[in-house]
Amino acid sequence: MLNPPTALLATLTLTAALSAQAAPRHARSEPPPQPLGPRPELVAFADTLANDTGWDATALRDLLAQALDLPRVRQLILPAPAGAAKTWAAYRERFIDSRRIDAGLAFWAEHEAALARAESQYGVPAEIIIGILGVETFYGRITGGFKVLDALATLAFDFPAEHPRAAERQAFFRRELAEFLRLCRDNGLDPAEVRGSYAGALGLPQFMPGSWRQYAVDFDGDGRIDLFASPADAIGSVAHYLAEQGWKPAQTTHYTVQLPADPLSRRRLLAPDIRPHFSAAELLAEGATLSEAARDHDGPLAVIELQNGPHMPATVRLGTENFWAITRYNWSAYYAMAVIELGQAVRARRAPAPR
């Protein structure tokens, strides 16, 4: 996600981006992307970064000027058209199917020790880590085919003006471009060759460069952090990230709830969106029907509404602070619930541990 704190894969998922990359067979061909060139804002950015880091300004200018301006990236970063319907059932079906569950089972079996160690060290259950890595990249099978330098430079210097938060997002991507260049320098990577998502997210967990530098950990103990090729580093880094976002060990992620019939009460309860805001007592006072476990919950709760199209009732849950922590990875209740339910599905398929 691209919302503060600098997280990972935007509010758009990698899978959606990859699906969108497939152009219709008879689509009109577009001219090949052109280099950004030495535009003034690019040169100023390069000179400032070179001054801050001691790098060669001319070489940095040349590297950035040669980055390609990608029209496809500008298109993919735009939000869905207003009025586009969200359907939880369809969203869930994209991520929770037999192939992904089978892959999750195999990944868990192969990396059981690292997952157990991450849970012990950071308090994040293995199934949550499994859910995130499965939704983000299908356990490393789909990590993105865009050259990250081109993608980030496009969004840093040619961000689509029609985006409702263009100035904020462009500033974000300029920061991430600087973080990416620092990451490459620190890790001996060729910035012109690194590949990731259209938004610049990297590796198995799809960390943005700033998140990699701030939250990624060397969990396999080999002296370096490699989120591209080390599943252990990816596992530990996801757990560390969630712990830093306030994950509470042993707390559940959500409860069932029935909202009150009164429209005004429903609107008040849904207004804060995914941020935990209400106590159990406040929810009861508004007329919500809570499960026994939810009534006993100590801490704030969010009323989460997942739409199911115009003809089906919405799915409604109460999100805890741990549900909120997952949305720090990607600012979406649909995403968080898919992560949770994929992890649960994989856990349910695992054979019981021998006694």
Digit-coded pLDDT (tens) for 135-155 = 999 999 999 999 999 999 999
Residue 279 belongs to a domain: yes
Number of other CB atoms surrounding residue 84 within 10 Å: 7
Burial 326-345 (b: 16+ CB within 10 A, else e): bbbbbbbbbbbbbbbebbbb
Q: What is the dihedral of CA 256, 85, 144, 209, to 10 degrees?
A: -70
Identify whether 84 is part of a domain. Answer: no
pLDDT, average across residues 181-200: 97
298 within a domain of the structure (yes/no): yes
DSSP 256: E
What 3-state DSSP class applies to 225?
coil
Q: Which of 2-6, 94-98, 151-155, 159-163 has the least mean pLDDT?
A: 2-6
> Rounded to an integer, what distance in angstroms lies between the CA atom of residue 229 and that of residue 203?
8
Using the predicted structure, report yes or no on whether residue 349 has a pLDDT greater than 90.
yes
Name the band, by pLDDT with cuts 50, 70 and 90, for residue 25.
Answer: very low
CB environment 265-276: b (16+ within 10 A), e (fewer): bbeebeeeebeb
Nearest-angstrom CA–CA distance, 314 and 38: 50
Whether residue 3 has pLDDT greater than 80: no
More confident: 248 or 32: 248
CA distance 255 to 28: 49
Contact 154, 68 (CB under 8 A): yes
Residue 281 lies in a domain: yes
pLDDT tens sequence across 44-71: 999 999 999 999 999 999 999 999 999 9
How distant, in Å, are the alpha carbons of 46, 256, 302 from that of 292?
58, 10, 17
The answer to whether 278 and 291 have CB atoms below 8 angstroms apart is no
- What percent of the chain has pLDDT above 90? 84
**Number of compact structural domains in the chain:** 1
Supply the residues annotated as catalytic.
Answer: 136
Better-scored residue on pLDDT, 281 or 24: 281
Token couple for 20: 């969108």
Residues 6+ apart with CB under 8 A from 220: 114, 230, 232, 233
pLDDT of residue 83: 64
* 231 token code pair: 């599943």
Q: Residue 354 — pLDDT band, cuts 50, 70, 90?
A: low
pLDDT average, residue stretch 300-316: 92
Average pLDDT (122-145) is: 98
Range of the domain at 265: 254-319
pLDDT > 70: percent of the chain: 90
Instruction: Classify residue 185: in a domain, yes or no.
Output: no
Beta-ladder partners of 1: none
Is residue 6 in some structural domain?
no
Mean pLDDT, rounded, of the chain: 91
- Return the amino acid letter for 247: W
Residue 225 Cα to chain centre, angstroms:
19
Measured distance CA(56)–CA(305) in Å, rounded: 51
Dump pLDDT digits (tens) for 73-84.
999 999 887 666
Domain contains 204: no
The per-residue pLDDT for 311 is: 84
Tokens 């009732």: give the residue: 313
Q: What is the mean pLDDT of the segment spanning 166-188?
A: 97
Rounded CA gap, 31 and 129, in Å?
41
**Which pLDDT band holds residue 28 (cuts at 50, 70, 90)?**
low
Q: Structure tokens of 282?
A: 């406040």
Question: What is the DSSP pairing of strand 254-258 with strand 195-196?
Answer: unpaired
Per the listing, tokens 């990859």 go with 18
What three-state secondary structure class fits 198? Answer: coil
- Which residues have a Cβ under 8 Å from the Cβ of 168 and sit 6 or more positions away? none
Domain annotation covers residue 198: no
pTM of the model: 0.90
Q: How far is CA 261 from the centre of its chain?
A: 34
Q: Is pLDDT at 23 greater than 60 in this prediction?
A: no
